[in-house]
A and B are shown apart, each in its own frame.
Chain A
Amino acid sequence: MTAYLDHAATTPMLPSAIAAMTEQLAVTGNASSLHTSGRLARRVVEEARERLAKALGARPSEVVLTSGGTEADNLAVAGTWAARRAADPARVRIVSSSMEHHAVLDCIEHLVTHEGAKVTWVDPDRTGLVSEASVRAAIEQDPESVALVTVMWANNEVGTIQPVAALAAVAHEFEVPFHSDAVQAAGHVPVDFSESGADLLTVTAHKLGGPLGVGALLARRDAVLVPQTFGGGQERQLRSGTLDVPAIRAFAVAVEESVERLSLESQRLVTLRDRLVTSALGLGYGVEVTGPWEPGDAVRRLPGNAHLLVPGCEGDSLLYLLDAAGVECSTGSACQAGVPQPSHVLLAMGLPESVARGALRLTLGHTSTDADVDAVVAALPPAIERARRASGAVT
C-alpha cells in the first residue's frame, strides 16, 4: 500500500469532478462556434465561470481561464509589466518576494534579462513571512518606478500564509497593482478575491481536486494587461485558444466542492498534520519543522503542510528510501534534470545550504487518513538512519 503525501504537487481528482469531466468529454462543441453545439459548449463554460467566480469572491467577467497556474502567473506578471511600462516608461520595477514559485520567479528573471525590467526582491523572515514593512520599504526605494507588486498567498514548500490583504493595501497606497499566486491557497484556506484587495489572483484546478491543465487568472475589470498569447481572442482578448470545456466544467465543480467543505476539511487536515509533525519531532534525530508552527494553526500555515528538516541527510536519499517503503513525498524544491537543488525558499528564509539539503515536504489532502500518517511515522526512523549512512559515505 502506498501512502501518498504529496498533495501539494497534485491531489487526486474529486469523484464529482471526474464525473463532470468524463460526461463532458463525450460532448462535441467549440465554445466559440455559433451553431447549437457551440452554444451548448459556451453555456457549460459560462456556467462554470459563474460558479468559479462565486466560490472565489469574484465576478464572472473577472475570470480569465488559462492552461494552469504557470500561464496565469506569466500573464499577470509579464502582462501587467508590459502594460504599465507602455503607459509610463519609468515603471519598469517589479517588487516581489524571493520565495515565489518559479512560475513568478523565472518570469521576472526573464523580464529582467530580456526586456529591461528591474526587480527588488523582498526576503521573508525565518518563518517565511513577508512583512508589510519590508514590502513598503521596497516600494519606497522609488515609488514612481514600480510597475507591479507580486507576493504569493501561501508558499508551496513551507506552507506559510502571507497577509495578502495587508500587502495589497500597501501596494495600493502607492497606486501600484498587486498580484498574488494563490495556487496553494485556493480551496485550502478562505480565498476571497474581492475582499483580498488583490488586482490579480492565480488559481489552478489540480491542487484542489480538479483536472491537470486548467487554471485561471482572476483579473479585476480595471486591471490593464497586455496579452501574452495571440490568436482567436478568447477570454477578454487576454488568452487566446480554444477553451477546454470538460476541464473547465470539472474545475468549477472541484473549486465549488472544496470551498464548500473547506472549514471541516481544514480542521481534519490540521489534526492529521499536527500528529504528523509532533510525531516526527518526537522521533529524535534532531528533526525540525520549518515555517510558522503552532498546533491547531490554519491561519499562518496551510492545514495540510508539514515541512521538515532532517539533519545529516540528503533529501534525495530520504526520498528514495521513503518511496521504497511506500511513502510518496517530496523535497519540496525544484529539480534540474531530476537533481533536487537546494531550495531557494529555504535559502531565502536564511537557512544554510547544508541544512536546506535535508528538507522533506509531506503534504496532506482530501484522501489523507490516519493510516497515511502512521505509515510515514513508521517509515521515517529507518530511512533517516540509512540516509545518514549514505550521506557519510559520499562526503
Chain B
Amino acid sequence: MRVVAAMSGGVDSAVAAARMLDAGHEVVGVHLALSQSAATLRQSARGCCTIEDAGDARRVADMLGIPFYVWDMAARFERDVMEDFVAEYASGRTPNPCLRCNEKIKFAALLDKALALGFDAVATGHYAQVVTRQDGTRELHRAVDHAKDQSYVLGVLDAAQLAGAFFPLGDTTKPDIRAEARERGFYVANKPDSHDICFIADGDTKGWLTERLGEHPGDVLDAVTGSVVGSHTGSYGFTVGQRRGLGLARSSLDGDPRFVVGVDAARNTVTIGTADLLGVNALRGDHARWCGPAPEGVVPVGAQVRAHGAEVPGLAWASGDEVEVRLETRLRGVAPGQSVVLYDGTRVVGSATIASTWLAS
C-alpha cells in the first residue's frame, strides 16, 4: 500500500513510519505544520510543530530513505480545532482538542488529501490497535500498553476514517518503542513525550483563553444556598471538578474543600460545592461517533470520560446523534465538553461529547 506516515518529529511517529516501511509499504513522511507562527526551537515538553520538530521528522525520514514533505494545515487547524476549543470554553464546556484534531485534521484533512493524491492510508504513532475481521471490517482496540493507550483520543473515528488508518505501535509498550528507536539509531529516541495542549506552549490555558475572550467578571455561587461567595473574571476559566484557583477568600467555608460543580456561561456564573455534589452516575452525550455500526438498544459498555481515566462499567443506548449512559459506580468531576468513549472489552464502540451529567436514583 501507499501510506502517508504522519511524522511529528517525536519518537513514536518515527518508529511507526519505520515499521510501515518494514511491513513492505511504500511510505512518504508528512509533517503537519499546524501553527501559523512556528517557533524555532522546542522549549519544553509542551508545544509542537516547531521548526526543530519538523527538522527532527525530516532527519528520521532521511535515515529511512523515504520522501518527506511538510503540509501546511495551520488554517484548518485554527478553524476546526482552536476556534472550536475557544467556542466550547466560551459556552461553559471543557473540550478535548486532541479528539477534535484526530477527527477533523489527521483523519480528515490529512487523510482526504492523502487519498486524493493517490495514497491508501495514513499511519500515526498513536498507541491503539486496528483489528481487521474476517469480513474485512475494521475494529479499533486499546493498545497492549494500557498505561500509554490512546484509543480514547481516537474514539471519534468513524468506520470510513478507520479504514484509512494504521497504528503500528499498538502491540508494543512505550519503553520497548524507545528501545527500538535507539536500535534503529534514531536520535529522537530519548526525546521527551509531549504533554498538554500543543497550541498553548506555556500551559496557561486560562491566560490563553483570556487573551481571546477578554475578561468578564461574574459571581461565584454556593451550590446549596445559591448565595454569592466570590467573584471570577470569566466563567470560561473554570472546569467542573476544579479545586484550585477558585478565588475564594478561604479555600473552604466549613473545613471541607470546595470544587466547581457547575459552569453557566449564559449567566456567567460558576457554582461551587463540596465533593459529594460532584458524584454522577448518568450522562447524556451528543455528537455521537461510531467506530463501526451504531449499537442497537441498551448495551453493556465500559465508559471512559477522560484521556487517562479509569473505565467504569455501565449501560448505554444510542438515539440518533445522542447517547445516554448509566454507570454502575459514581464518577467525580465529569465535565461537559469532555468526551465519553465507550468500550466493549478492549474494542472501542464509539464516543460522544458530554452534554449533561446527573445523579440518577
Task: Please give the residue numbers on chain A whose beta carbons come within 8 Å of chain B beta carbons, in ascending order.
Answer: 316-317, 319-321, 323-324, 335-340, 386-387, 389-390, 392-394
B118 at the interface (CB under 8 A from A): yes
Given contacts A321-B117, A337-B55, A393-B115, list 14 more A-B pairs with CB under 8 A.
A316-B69, A317-B117, A320-B67, A320-B117, A324-B28, A335-B70, A338-B33, A338-B70, A340-B72, A386-B117, A390-B116, A390-B117, A393-B116, A394-B113
Please, which residues of chain A bring their CB within 8 A of the CB of B117? 317, 320-321, 386-387, 389-390
A339 touches B70 (CB 8 A): yes
Chain B at the A interface: SS class: mixed
CB B319 to nearest CB in A, in angstroms, measures 32
* Docked complex Cα distance between A86 and B253 (Å): 71
A393 touches which one: B33, B38, B51, B113 (CB < 8 A)?
B113
Cross-chain pairs A/B with CB under 8 angstroms, 10 sampled: A317-B113, A320-B67, A335-B70, A336-B51, A340-B72, A386-B117, A387-B117, A390-B116, A393-B115, A394-B76
* Docked complex Cα distance between A393 and B55 (Å): 27
CB B60 to nearest CB in A, in angstroms, measures 14
CB B302 to nearest CB in A, in angstroms, measures 35
Please, which residues of chain B bring their CB within 8 A of the CB of A392? 116
Q: Which residue of A lies closest to B112 (CB)?
A: A393
B54 at the interface (CB under 8 A from A): yes
Task: Please give the residue numbers on chain B whose beta carbons come within 8 Å of chain A beta carbons, in ascending order.
Answer: 28, 31, 33, 38, 51, 54-55, 58, 67, 69-73, 76, 109, 112-113, 115-118
Please, which residues of chain B bring their CB within 8 A of the CB of A340? 72
B38 touches A394 (CB 8 A): no
* Docked complex Cα distance between A91 and B76 (Å): 46
Q: Which residue of B lies closest to A383 (CB)?
A: B117
B38 touches A336 (CB 8 A): yes
Please, which residues of chain A bring their CB within 8 A of the CB of B28? 320, 324
CB A341 to nearest CB in B, in angstroms, measures 9
* Docked complex Cα distance between A386 and B67 (Å): 18
Please, which residues of chain A bring their CB within 8 A of the CB of B112? 393-394
B69 touches A320 (CB 8 A): yes
Please, which residues of chain A bring their CB within 8 A of the CB of B70? 335, 337-339
B72 touches A339 (CB 8 A): yes
* Docked complex Cα distance between A337 and B58 (Å): 10
Q: Which 4 A-B pairs have the closest CB atoms?
A: A338-B70, A390-B116, A393-B112, A389-B116
* Docked complex Cα distance between A324 and B114 (Å): 13
CB A359 to nearest CB in B, in angstroms, measures 15
A316 touches which one: B58, B71, B115 (CB < 8 A)?
B71
CB A77 to nearest CB in B, in angstroms, measures 24
* Docked complex Cα distance between A335 and B109 (Å): 21
Q: Which residue of A lies closest to B53 (CB)?
A: A337
CB A346 to nearest CB in B, in angstroms, measures 17
Q: Among A317, A335, A386, A393, which residue has the most Cβ atoms of chain B within 10 A? A: A393
Please, which residues of chain B bring their CB within 8 A of the CB of A386? 116-118
* Docked complex Cα distance between A320 and B167 (Å): 24
* Docked complex Cα distance between A321 and B112 (Å): 15
B67 touches A337 (CB 8 A): no
Q: Among B71, B76, B112, which residue has the most Cβ atoms of chain A within 10 A? A: B71
CB A334 to nearest CB in B, in angstroms, measures 13
Please, which residues of chain A bring their CB within 8 A of the CB of B54? 337-338
A337 touches B51 (CB 8 A): yes
Please, which residues of chain B bring their CB within 8 A of the CB of A387? 117
> When A337-B33, A393-B113 are in contact, do A323 and B72 touch as well, CB less than 8 Å?
no
> When A323-B67, A394-B76, A394-B109 are in contact, do A338 and B31 touch as well, CB less than 8 Å?
yes
CB A39 to nearest CB in B, in angstroms, measures 43
